[in-house]
Every structure is written in C-alpha cells, then in structure tokens.
Structure 1
Amino acid sequence: MGESMAVLLPDRAGPLESVENFRLSVGGAESNVAGALAALGVPSAWISRVGDDGFGRRLLGDLTARGVDVSAVAVDPHRPTGVYLKEVGGTTGDRHDLGPGRSRLHYHRRGSAAAGLSPELLDDPTAARLLAGARLLHLSGITAALSDDCLALLRALLAERRSDRLVSFDLNWRPALWRDRDLSVLPPLLDAADLLLLGADEAEAAFGTGEPHALRRLFPSPATVVVKDEARLVTAIGRDGTTVAEPALTVEVVEATGAGDAFAAGYLAGTVRGLDQRRRLRLGHLSAACALTTHGDQAELPPDSVVGALLDASPEAWAATRVSADGIVSPALPAAPTTAYASPTPRSAPVAPGGGAPDPRPAATPALGAP
C-alpha cells in the first residue's frame, strides 16, 4: 500500500533546461515491490489512489500487465496523479550540470491523489477483502509523510495485530517529504511492524545511527530487523539477538533504480515461502542484482533451478558469483565455473544518456534504499 507516480525520464544528460524530450514511465516503492513479487510468483495486489488522468491510467495499465491486482485502487476525480522528473548529470560543462554518475529526482506530489488515502479506505469492500486475505502487508515511511490522513491510515493498519498476517515496513527515507512534518511520528510506526527493512545510510540520516545492533535496540518489537550497511553486507537480527549476515553479489550495474525494492520483494518472497534467514537474504540479493542489470524497475530472475542452486551455494561459491546483463557466472551452477546462465533475451547495456557508456566496473548490490 502506498503512492506511485508518473516518471519523466530525460533524453539526454545535463541540466533540465537543456532537455528537449522526456520519456514517460512509472515508479513507486510499494508498487515496485508488488510487481517484483508477482514476477517471483507471489500473488500480489497494490492498494492506493490515482488521479482521473492519463498518468493514473498508465500506472494501472502497467501494474496490471505485471500481474498485480489493482482492483482496490481508487480513482480520485479531483486530485492528480503525482509526478517526478529525473535529472541526469553529464559532461556538458554547464555550471548547473550535476556531473557524471550523479542524478536528482524532482518530485511534484503535494496534494496528489495518494495523499488522500485515509482510514476510510478500511471501509471499502474491495480493499477490506484484499487486506483480510493477505498473508503479508507491505508499507513504507513514504506514506506516513504524505498527509495526516495517510499517517492515520498507517496507524490504524499497524494497530490491527493479526496472527495470520505479517506486516513489513521499509523506511524508504525521503528527507524532502519530512521537511515540514514531525519526524517523531515515524519510529513508533517502524517499531510496530513484524519485519523492518532499513538502509544503514537512511537510518543514519533519520535516526543518527546505521549500526545494525544499535538499530535493533532502537526498534525492539519487530520479529526481524534487516539492515543494509555501507560494506554492502545485509544483516538480519531477530528479537532474540540471532544474527545472520550475507554479502551482496558482484554486479555489472546498468541502472540502480529499483534495486532496493527488488531486494525487499526477494526477501519477502522468501519469507512467505518459509525459507531460512540466509536464503531470504540471498533471494533479496539475487532479485536486486537482476534489477541492477537492466534499465527500469523490473527484471526477470533466472529459472528456478538456477535460483535454487544459488540459494544453496557454499559461501565461497556465492562470493565468486558474478551477475551481468549477459547472465550469471557462478561455481554453484551445474556447468560452472566455465559457463554462465544467460537470459533467453540477454540485455546488453545501452548507451547512457548523453552518449557516454555505462560504467562497466562491478559493484555490489545496493540492496536497500534505492531512489
């Protein structure tokens, strides 16, 4: 449950005033997670509000095409669908150019349809049916910052404790949204979840620490707190102090957008499937790695046999695994180490905006806290 927006992507690098054309896409943390869960074979629904406009119709069409149930998305006749623009740094020499490898998101979401989410949603028959049948409800800190009504809705949902439903909560820190709001409302929401997902850098900015065990002490109630630290290691800490840490895969990154949401989807898919903690973290890493090797927020995972082999790999084989747009090379795969799994339609790395080539250097997956 949460807001998604139309996204305008520039046709070239450089300051916005130099851009001639934008390409329309869609984005949003919670809907990205829903789409990635559907791709992982987990039935999912997205609950939100969109405007009665072309951007709203595009959102609903795209999510339906991904296999997400959007039957409980309300169409608001008065408020618009939110929009954000992406600015990509380049080498134009303009003093307003962000510079190579840097980007900035410009949000236009104040007064959006999704900001009208409120506890009244719980009286909607379709939304109530989906919530009643859900094994897991995924929320984020973005929703809490959109409006007082959105905050009231999250509080109502988190107060409804049910033994047959897990609630996961991703911090998804957006400092611009909290500039004029009371940040003290956020920690109680996070502590009321069953599964808490935090980026160490985000937590440092919001709460003054990114250290996993310090965050575990700060949020004692969730059954599991999952923290991605600066060393590209994801740590899961149980309420009893049990700690499992798993390093990220090495990836030739094409586009970082959506990797954090893909990690969340992989981890949550592993949770509802009853995988142990290490395999949940690995499925999150693998999902994020595949998202990093393509443009856009969604990516296809390899066949189940490949996924299973990687989840069961030894620590040494996992550490030696390499993921790129051309496939996966790993000693854990049956024909390894000399061959690789490749997607039936391998994705080559496109030319970056402005004519530059994408950075071919391997990077570990930024599992949480993507833009």
Structure 2
Amino acid sequence: MSPVLLAVGETMAMLAPADGAGVVEATGFLVDAGGAESNVAAHAAALGMTARWWSRLGVDALGDRVLRQVAARGVDVSLVERDAAHPTGLYVKDPGRGVSYYRRGSAASCFSRADAENLALDDVDVLHVSGITAALSDTARDFLDVAIGRARDEGVTVSFDVNHRVALWSATEAAPVLRALAARADLVFVGRDEAEVLWGTPTDADVRALFPGVAELVVKDGDVGATVFTGEERVFIPSLPVEVLDAVGAGDAFAGGYLAARAAGATASDRLRSGHERAALTLRTYGDSLHDAIHPDRTPT
C-alpha cells in the first residue's frame, strides 16, 4: 500500500472572472477551490500517493462545491468536518487589483485544540501542515501546536511548509512563530526569499544553520533551483526552464511532487526533480486552471 499523506489546513472557495477582466467588468466567473494544503494533497495523489485532506467547511453551497472539487482531484475528503455555525471562506481574484479575502469567522479560522486531539492519525505516514494555519487565529495556532505534537508522539513524519503570507500577518509577528514550528518538523519546505524576510538568512546555507536539527530541509529559490539538506548532505537541482503564466500554487505543487517521490523511495535528487516537474506544470497554467496542472493529460470534468 502507498504511504498515507494527511494534509491539514484551510481551503476556501475562489471566485475569479472567467475572461480575465476585472470583477466589475466581467460577464462570467469561475468558482474553484483554493488552499495550499489541499493543493499539496492533490499533486501527491496525481502521482499515486494516497492523499487525504482534513479541514472545516461551512454547511453551505460553497462548502459543498469545495468538497466536490477537492475530491475530484483524487483526494480523500471523508475526514472533512462541516460546521453549521460558521461559513466557508471565500477569496476573490480581481485582475489588476489583487485578491480580496473573506475568511473572518470562517469555519477554517475556528480550528481548535479539540480538532487536533481528534485528528485521525492511526494509519498516517506523513502529516503535512503549513504556516498559513498559524496565521488564521489563536485557536488555529493552538490546533497546529497540538497536531504537530501528536504526530511526533505517534511516529508520524511532520512535513511543514513555512508559507508566510504577508496578507495575514507581518514578518515581525510571524518570524518567531514560524521558526518554532519549523524547528519541530521532520521535513521543512521554505523559500529562500521568505526565509531572508523572516529571519535574515540570505543563503540556503544560512537557513540550514538556523535549523540544524531538522532532518530534511528543502530551500526553494524560485527559478534558480532547490536544495535539500539531509544530515551533512547537500543536494541542489536547478529549476526547469518554463514560461510563467501564473506563479500561484507552484510551491504547493513542488511540495506535492517532492512528497510523492519521497514516499516512493526516490533519491534526494529525484525528489527535487519531481518537485520541479509539478511546479513547472502549475507555472504553465493559470491559478483557476488547477485541474490542468494536476492532471495535464486529462480532460476537465
């Protein structure tokens, strides 16, 4: 049986103009599901890994749609909780103006310590989480703390993507929290640029020096490449040349590709190559065409 990946975190409904116009001018809209952790699960599932996703969604039409779309990407969504007291979060992409988030009081922002205590980990090999959860609310931060602690106690590998989102909290506030979380993980993904912003570490070697106890540290450097540190070993693989249409989701794709290759027993070099290949697929598609990036040889349904 394939090793089991459980990805945990917020996924919102995403609304975007279908024709690339602004929200005011658009005549039609796409409604998709957007979330870092469920994206990682989808990319891992596309490569044959058993992938589950846990989160909280409202008991509403947007929650129904998110659940259906994530499931359609090959991810097991049977663990997802539905919350009748809080809505599914929403974000709106407005070309030329940016992104607006409507997540205050959402079901996912209400993650709690009790949720982490009840998280099903019995047959899970890898728990994947990200720094986004820590930024959602104080209770969500407590959830992440307990979930990581439980996973470590039960021998589950903890995969942590730093994923600092400036729209959610400042680098000053985020830096100590994300550093503490990363230090507790077995496998960490971090962008070289975000590490420099958070911790003043301009090179991958500096990031490694900051986290000497992390068993497997992956430092991504955009179109330059990515480096993995395992013990005293350092392996670098350059990024694939690609015409970038949209960078949204590339980091999630990289993590999904890396985790799937890792589950298959691939070498450090091949794990990085798998990450780059999934990222390249995403970079060549628009953020609202995630299905094409995950399953490039399939016709969307």
Q: Structure 1-normalised TM-score?
A: 0.72
Residues 74-94 of structure 1: CA deviation (Å, up to 9, x unaligned): 1111111111111223xxxxx
Find 1:297's aligned residue among 287, 290, 301.
290
SS of the residue aligned with 1:84? strand
Distance in 2 separating the partners of 1:169 and 1:18? 39
CA distance, structure 1, for counterparts of residue 290 and residue 250 of structure 2: 7
Task: Please show how residues 31-180 of structure 1 align to structure 2 within 5 Å.
Answer: 31-89=38-96, 104-124=98-118, 127-128=119-120, 131-160=121-150, 161-162=152-153, 164-179=155-170
Q: Given that residues 60 and 88 in structure 2 are in contact (C-alpha distance below 8 angstroms), is that contact kept between their aligned partners in structure 1?
A: yes
Output aligned runs, 1:199-238, within 5 Å: 199-230=191-222, 232-238=224-230
Q: CA deviation at 1:204?
A: 2.0
Alignment partners' CA distance in 1, 2:112 and 2:171: 20
Name the residue aligned to 1:349: none
Aligned counterparts of 1:45 and 1:209: Cα–Cα separation in 2: 33
Instruction: Write the mapping of 1:241-260 to structure 2, written as runs, cut at 5 A.
Output: 242-260=233-251
User: What amino acid does structure 2 have at the position aligned with 1:33?
Assistant: V
8 Å CA contact 2:56–2:107 kept in 1: the answer is yes
* Secondary structure of 1:178's aligned partner: coil
Which stretches in structure 1 are left out of the alignment for 5+ residues? 90-97, 99-103, 303-324, 326-342, 346-371
**Aligned in 2, Cα 1:221/1:277: closer, same or farther, shift over 3 Å?**
same
Say which SS state the counterpart of residue 50 (structure 2) adopts: coil
Residue 132 of structure 1: SS of its match in structure 2? coil
Residue segments in structure 2 that go unaligned for 5+ positions in a row? 1-7
- The alpha-carbon deviation at position 36 of structure 1 amounts to 1.1
Residue-pair matches, total: 289
1:22, CA displacement in angstroms?
A: 2.5
Q: Which amino acid aligns with 1:63?
A: V
Aligned identity (percent) is 44
1:272 aligns with 2:269: no
Give, in angstroms, the shift of residue 164 of structure 1. 4.1
Q: Which has the larger radius of gyration?
A: 1
Per-residue deviation, 1:284? 0.6
Tell me the residue number matched to 2:190.
Answer: 198
The one-character-per-residue Cα deviations of 1:123-162 (angstroms, maximum 9, x if unpaired) are 43xx32xx12111010000000111111111111222324
Among 24, 28, 35, the alignment partner of 2:31 is 24
How far 1:165 moved relative to its partner? 2.0
Report if the CA contact (8 A) 1:51-1:112 is conserved. Answer: yes
Distance 2:57 2:23 in 1: 26
Amino acid at match of 1:174: R
TM-score of the superposition, structure 2-length normalised? 0.88
In structure 2, give the amino acid aligned to 1:212: D
Alpha carbons of structure 1 residues 232 and 185: separation in structure 2 relative to 1, 3 Å: same
Q: Shift in Å at residue 120 of structure 1?
A: 0.7
Whether contact under 8 Å (1:48, 1:73) holds in the other structure is yes
Read off the aligned partner of 2:168 and give its amino acid letter: L
Pairing 1:2–2:18 present:
no
Decide whether aligned partners of structure 1 residues 176 and 294 sit closer, same or farther in structure 2, where only a CA change above 3 A counts. Answer: closer
Give how far 1:9 is off: 0.7
How far residue 266 of structure 1 moved from its aligned partner, in angstroms, is 0.5
Give 2:4's aligned residue: none
Q: Which amino acid aligns with 2:210?
A: L
Measure, in 2, the Cα distance between the counterparts of 1:20 and 1:181: 41
Work out whether 1:285 is the aligned partner of 2:276: yes
Deviations 1:276-302 (A, max 9, x none): 100000011111112223332244679
